[in-house]
Amino acid sequence: MDDSLNKIKLINKISKKLILQIFLVLIVFVYFFLSAPFGGKDIIIHVSNGQSISSITSELKTENAIRNEFSLKFFIKLLKRGTGVVSGDYLIKKNSPVWIIAWQVGRGNHGISPIKVTLREGLNNIQTADLLASKLSGFDEKLFLEKINDKQGYLFPDTYFFFPLDTTDEIIEKLLNNFNRKINSLNLSIDKNSKEFSDAIIMASILEGEAGGKDDIGIISGILWKRISLNMPLQVDVDKSTYNIKGLPLKPLNNPGLSSITAALNPVSSPYLYYLHDKNGTVHYSKSFEEHKRNISNYLK
């Protein structure tokens, strides 16, 4: 009987010791692998497209947002969608548990609102840079202009969402990638077209300033291409002066939108050689210069 009681006491003693050890292990595990470090603060990190998980966790460790990298790597791989980490800025709140940070980065929950920037049709590169600089603090306008020096015409006008820490290369990549996506819808027109695509972009940039809307842009495109084929001066307005030279400019004048690019690739044939817009924006066409002069007298004086 005494032996049985002693065995029970021994088992209870061992069980209590084991429970205490498990409890201590859990405390150590939670402290080192799950909890946030002391003395943390809110931080913003920027994750670039294609950035490795190792470099992200290393940065967070350096910023004292996590105690160790292994646990964050584990939870990111467990919780992330797809094959990569979602790029952009992330606001990491102080004292955030590691699984919360992993959820943010792995699922693209940035915790910070992107900045909306609308680039309208017809902006040149300098105007585009000025607008981005007015919206994005820290934007390097000089570096941006250096990198897009030969890209005027291909920075697609659209509404974009950027993060405050987006790099110059990332901003340019978004603009150019959007251009390529939009142009994909015109592949049939491009493939069957005898015009050089680069020439079409130059023409589209002219149409941004010459056409009043979708009702006249195709016909005006046809008129301007006809003038080129007849070796006539284009006689279009460029930077508040008349471009009166034969042939196209050497490069795009601005960044045209999809309707102008479509019209440049698909000009509408007509018997006209001249056109003008009256004070109300209505277009008036003419077949001869004499008729054009009468339209000027009738509608612009």
pLDDT in tens, 41-68: 888 889 888 888 888 888 888 888 888 7
Confidence of residue 4 (pLDDT cuts 50, 70, 90): low
**The pLDDT of residue 133:** 96
pLDDT in tens, 229-273: 999 999 887 766 677 888 899 999 999 999 999 999 999 999 999
Instruction: Specify the pTM.
Output: 0.78
Distance CA 216, CA 68 (A): 64
**The pLDDT of residue 23:** 52
Question: Among 56, 174, 65, 63, which Cα is nearest to 115's?
Answer: 174
pLDDT in tens, 103-148: 888 888 888 889 999 999 999 999 999 999 999 988 999 999 999 9
**The pLDDT of residue 177:** 95
Q: Which of 117-131, 177-191, 213-227 has the lowest mean pLDDT?
A: 177-191
| 2 pLDDT above the threshold of 70 | no
Percent of the chain with pLDDT over 90: 44
